[in-house]
Structure 1
Amino acid sequence: MIQPYPVLIIDDEADILTSFDLCLRSCGIDNIICCQKPAEALRIIDDQPLGAMILDLSMPGVTGQEILAHVRETRPGLPVIVATGVESIESAVECMKLGALDYLAKPVEEERLMASVRTALEMSRLRRENTSLRESLVQDRLANPQAFAHFTTASIKMRQIFKYLEAVAASPEPILINGETGVGKELAARAVHKLSCPGKPFVAVNVAGLDDMVFSDTLFGHRKGAFTGAVLARKGLVEQADDGVLFLDEIGDLNETSQVKLLRLLQEREYMPLGADLPRPSEARIVVATNRDLEAMTREGRFRKDLYYRLCTHMVRIPPLRERTDDIPVLLELFISQAAASFGKDAPRPSRCLISRLGAYPFPGNVRELRAFVFDAMGRWNGGDFSCGPDSDTAGHLGMHEELCFPATLPTIDETVHALVREAMSRADGVQTVAARWLGISQPALSKRLKKDGL
């Protein structure tokens, strides 16, 4: 169980501390602090973030009730489990009034202790996520902008997604990233990696088209001799990911048998290499992505409901480019710069007309398609007006004057002439002879028009 914050166990009996410690470690909870001195425990509570606490009541010097009252005053969000030999209704009621999550009588059954601690850690995690979400919404700023440096965006929608990913990055639950082809789903997965476990492995695999045998071997690996041709043992991607991020792309194309195996990995946090006799634990954070509607697929019986509900604990949708057209100018500038450097050319400046035309295009291939348009056009470009997109001819409009762009409501002739004269004078820096030459009229005719229009 992934624990960013430790479980603090407070008891004056060393044997109890050892017993509780071993019990929790046996179920995968290994971030533990054992404290035999109540006064020292108070310092730990004040100085260190904690995920949960197990507390004895009858201790010399400082009682458990006093520690519980201190926690309620200074750390009200910390879940506390009371484990004591003082078994009475009055004591239990008093502890619950002081904010205890659970009351366990010694000797404590292992299963009861583990279940209570897991509940406490889950409650603590949810409180942290809610707090993080509230803070990000109120402050309207990113706590870790460097994690999203590989995104080029000016979109408010994308900024909201970044805030959400920051809030859930520390959660051990899987993250489902949904979006059309080319929107940047893997970039979002890499952002989660940078937020949750920088420096740890990031392992990505596209599971589309993998049959069950290949899927199992790819993810879980195999032992030597597991099947014909397995002359050497092979590490699977789960083992390679270790305690980093395992990114499974196109999860909607996974066949049903493989879905069952993935569900086991998520639920039990363990997997079985091919040919192995015993399961192995997994600490990898699972991030999945798809361009399919998994909810609709579950209704149609094409995707397991239990797996879907397990995957959608944290879910984000990356909007298509047509829903964030304010990103087109910044992406266009980026891709033109990259393409110009790639071809060894000077970077042309995109016109407002080109940006307007691209903004009206639906971009079924999204950011990836825009990049392809730019690189294709840059390869053909030899100076002059630069144009790219689905309406460019085979020459890419290279060296040709770009088509005129008009608003949704067409202007009148007088309005069009007025705007044209004003634009010519602006580009000519007020020099009438230059503007007149561009407009194809004489300088006296332009001067007369300027006086008429009050320019």
Structure 2
Amino acid sequence: MNLPSSFSLRKLPGVLVVDDELRSQEALRRTLEEDFDVLCASSADEGMALLEREQASAGIRIVLCDQRMPGTTGVQFLKEVRSRWPDIVRIILSGYTDAEDIITGVNEAGIWQYLLKPWQPEQLLLTLQRAAEVWRLQQENQRLSLDLRTAEPVLKRRVEAKFDKARQRFGLDGMVRAPGSPLNAVCDLVARVAPYDLSVLITGESGTGKEMVARAIHYESRRAAKPFITENCGALPDTLLESELFGYKRGAFTGAVEDRIGLFQQADGGTLFLDEIGETSPAFQVKLLRVLQEGEFRPLGSNRPVSVDVRVIAATNRDLEADVRTGRFREDLYYRLATMTLHVPPLRERATDLPLLAARLLENSGQALGKAATGFTAEALACMAGYRWPGNVRELQNEILRMVALGDGPTFGADLLSPRVLQAPPIDPPSSEAAPVDWTANLSGGLRERMEQLEYQVLKAAMIRHRWNKSRAARELGLSRVGLRAKLTRYGLEQA
């Protein structure tokens, strides 16, 4: 649609001009109409009627009124305007310089500006533009004042809601495990030790979720509302690790152009998680021991000690007791850190947890990649269960991310698994020390029928693992390709 050139979509500030002289009204209108929506009234009564009509939509922001009018003065009129619409910016235009009128106007009517005739168009326009900005700032001030009155309870509710959400996700309730999981014993210890300010050492292979356990301890403790800060001690050399943990003052070393607050100070009142603590050098271990013993440290370049209240949780995938015996790790620091020791079992020992854990990771991966993801096929779950997962939960997470990225969803099959998972040899049978597994629990019928059912399961697992490559499956099972094909035909697996 073509609009006339004089049509404007922006809403101009409204100005009411009250003057009993028509020529003065027209002159003011011509000066202001490009920047303002100008309404004119020839008397105070007419001006009041316009205000009552227009202020229903807050249309008038400024009143420009002549001082000398029949029946009333501009000050008296603006005094009434102030009592009814205090937000309107009020300006007097007068050809007289009576000091008493000026003082009365400012005190009683709240006059913002007192302009004298004859007025200059540029000066008048600039004055009203400033008046419009004053009106805008008044509205903003009122809005902010209202926000400040309501902000505290609103923000408090928001913070509490986010804290509850974080506690559900990172606390014990967020740790995925089956009823018979070996992780349950770890969770029981977490629940018992979390309320007390004891140092905890978490051990386990890489990728087992040691940081997850540390977070659960934090969110189940009295420090849950305070910071949880993490640092990977194996990722930095001693000098950088010291500056990260303890901070430094400007000029402490080359490149220290400003003060830096260390992680110990950032975690004050909360929990500091030191991952890969076994990778630190004996020299750094001495400095860390002093902080744990004294509860204070000195930032690099500072002469003043800083006191902190921090609970330290450390983690390692090394055998620290062996490192203590060889002198690689300080014995006094080890006993300071290991007031309580928790061991996180590897994923290969958590067979019952794998389906639940895979489902949770699939949900998270789908959300991260913006794709629909509802579940896995039985074949995919069987392949996952038959793999050892040397990278533990971290490897499983990356594998599922890969499946979601490659698949069309929402259900993901075994064909999306990487070759190392599909072609991996079966997990070793349980040792005599482990609890026996009843491999025939789901079999039925006589001996022959049960043997056939077991053979079917072995064949199907091997074919899935090798992506239905008959040569590879036959080689694993010690069969000829012809013999394997006959068995597949017999059990109806050929079409799969």
- Normalised by the size of structure 1, how large is the TM-score? 0.53
Residue aligning to 1:163? 188
- Determine if the alignment matches structure 1 residue 308 to structure 2 residue 328: no
- Determine if the alignment matches structure 1 residue 293 to structure 2 residue 325: no
Question: Following the alignment from structure 1 to structure 2, what is the Cα–Cα distance between the partners of residues 167 and 145?
Answer: 19
Contact 2:207 2:391 (8 Å CA) reproduced: yes
Residue aligning to 2:96? none
* Structure 2 CA distance for partners of 1:279 and 1:414, relative to 1, 3 Å: same
Q: Which of 384, 388, 391 is residue 421 of structure 2 equivalent to? A: 391
- Determine if the alignment matches structure 1 residue 147 to structure 2 residue 171: yes
- Determine if the alignment matches structure 1 residue 280 to structure 2 residue 306: yes
Question: Following the alignment from structure 1 to structure 2, what is the Cα–Cα distance between the partners of residues 346 and 225?
Answer: 53
Question: Following the alignment from structure 1 to structure 2, what is the Cα–Cα distance between the partners of residues 418 and 392?
Answer: 22
* Counterpart residue type for residue 195 of structure 1: E
Residue aligning to 1:192? 217
Alignment partner of 1:205: what SS? strand
In terms of Rg, which structure is larger? Answer: 2
Contact 1:339 1:374 (8 Å CA) reproduced: yes
CA displacement, residues 141-170 of structure 1 (integer Å, 9 cap, x when unaligned): xxx998223322115322221121122123
CA displacement, residues 358-409 of structure 1 (integer Å, 9 cap, x when unaligned): 223221111111111122123222468701353338xxxxxxxxxxxxx699
CA displacement, residues 280-309 of structure 1 (integer Å, 9 cap, x when unaligned): 212011111111111111111111111111
- Determine if the alignment matches structure 1 residue 263 to structure 2 residue 289: yes
* Structure 2 CA distance for partners of 1:225 and 1:359, relative to 1, 3 Å: same
Unaligned runs of 5+ in 2: 1-167, 424-438, 457-490
CA displacement, residues 113-148 of structure 1 (integer Å, 9 cap, x when unaligned): xxxxxxxxxxxxxxxxxxxxxxxxxxxxxxx99822
Residue aligning to 1:108? none
Q: Counterparts in 2 of 1:373-392, with a 5 A limit?
A: 373-382=399-408, 386-387=413-414, 388=417, 390-392=420-422
What is the Cα deviation at residue 345 of structure 1?
A: 4.6
Contact 1:220 1:239 (8 Å CA) reproduced: yes
Alignment partner of 1:333: what SS? helix
Contact 1:217 1:236 (8 Å CA) reproduced: yes
Alignment partner of 2:207: what SS? coil
* Structure 2 CA distance for partners of 1:236 and 1:341, relative to 1, 3 Å: closer
Question: Following the alignment from structure 1 to structure 2, what is the Cα–Cα distance between the partners of residues 321 and 198?
Answer: 28
CA RMSD of aligned residues (A): 3.3
* Structure 2 CA distance for partners of 1:229 and 1:342, relative to 1, 3 Å: closer
Contact 2:227 2:271 (8 Å CA) reproduced: yes
Question: Following the alignment from structure 2 to structure 1, what is the Cα–Cα distance between the partners of residues 388 and 306?
Answer: 47
Question: Following the alignment from structure 1 to structure 2, what is the Cα–Cα distance between the partners of residues 330 and 418?
Answer: 27
Question: Following the alignment from structure 2 to structure 1, what is the Cα–Cα distance between the partners of residues 235 and 374?
Answer: 41
* Counterpart residue type for residue 166 of structure 1: A
* Counterpart residue type for residue 188 of structure 1: V
Q: Counterparts in 2 of 1:364-375, with a 5 A limit?
A: 364-375=390-401
Question: Following the alignment from structure 2 to structure 1, what is the Cα–Cα distance between the partners of residues 322 and 298?
Answer: 30
Unaligned runs of 5+ in 1: 1-143, 394-406, 422-437, 441-455
Residue aligning to 1:215? 241
* Counterpart residue type for residue 149 of structure 1: D
Percent of residue pairs identical:
38
* Structure 2 CA distance for partners of 1:146 and 1:202, relative to 1, 3 Å: closer
Question: Following the alignment from structure 1 to structure 2, what is the Cα–Cα distance between the partners of residues 285 and 255?
Answer: 22
Question: Following the alignment from structure 2 to structure 1, what is the Cα–Cα distance between the partners of residues 367 and 241?
Answer: 40
Question: Following the alignment from structure 2 to structure 1, what is the Cα–Cα distance between the partners of residues 260 and 407?
Answer: 49
Q: Counterparts in 2 of 1:71-86, with a 5 A limit?
A: none
Residue aligning to 2:42? none
* Structure 2 CA distance for partners of 1:323 and 1:439, relative to 1, 3 Å: closer
* Counterpart residue type for residue 245 of structure 1: T
CA displacement, residues 151-207 of structure 1 (integer Å, 9 cap, x when unaligned): 221153222211211221233231111111111111111111112211101111111
Q: Which of 252, 257, 263 is residue 231 of structure 1 equivalent to? A: 257
What is the Cα deviation at residue 209 of structure 1?
A: 4.0
* Structure 2 CA distance for partners of 1:385 and 1:232, relative to 1, 3 Å: closer
Question: Following the alignment from structure 2 to structure 1, what is the Cα–Cα distance between the partners of residues 226 and 374?
Answer: 40
* Structure 2 CA distance for partners of 1:286 and 1:415, relative to 1, 3 Å: closer
Alignment partner of 1:200: what SS? coil
* Counterpart residue type for residue 285 of structure 2: Q
Contact 1:150 1:187 (8 Å CA) reproduced: no
Question: Following the alignment from structure 1 to structure 2, what is the Cα–Cα distance between the partners of residues 277 and 167?
Answer: 40
* Counterpart residue type for residue 392 of structure 1: L
Question: Following the alignment from structure 1 to structure 2, what is the Cα–Cα distance between the partners of residues 353 and 408?
Answer: 19
Alignment partner of 1:247: what SS? strand
Contact 1:183 1:321 (8 Å CA) reproduced: yes
Alignment partner of 2:341: what SS? strand
* Counterpart residue type for residue 169 of structure 1: A
Question: Following the alignment from structure 1 to structure 2, what is the Cα–Cα distance between the partners of residues 371 and 279?
Answer: 43
How many residue pairs get aligned? The number is 270
* Counterpart residue type for residue 360 of structure 1: G
Alignment partner of 1:162: what SS? helix
| Higher mean displacement: 375-384 or 178-187 | 375-384
What is the Cα deviation at residue 257 of structure 1?
A: 0.9
Residue aligning to 2:100? none
Q: Counterparts in 2 of 1:178-189, with a 5 A limit?
A: 178-189=203-214
Alignment partner of 1:230: what SS? coil
Question: Following the alignment from structure 1 to structure 2, what is the Cα–Cα distance between the partners of residues 260 and 327?
Answer: 40
* Counterpart residue type for residue 331 of structure 2: K
Residue aligning to 2:228? 202
What is the Cα deviation at residue 240 of structure 1?
A: 0.7
Alignment partner of 1:370: what SS? helix
Contact 1:209 1:254 (8 Å CA) reproduced: no
| Higher mean displacement: 311-320 or 411-420 | 411-420
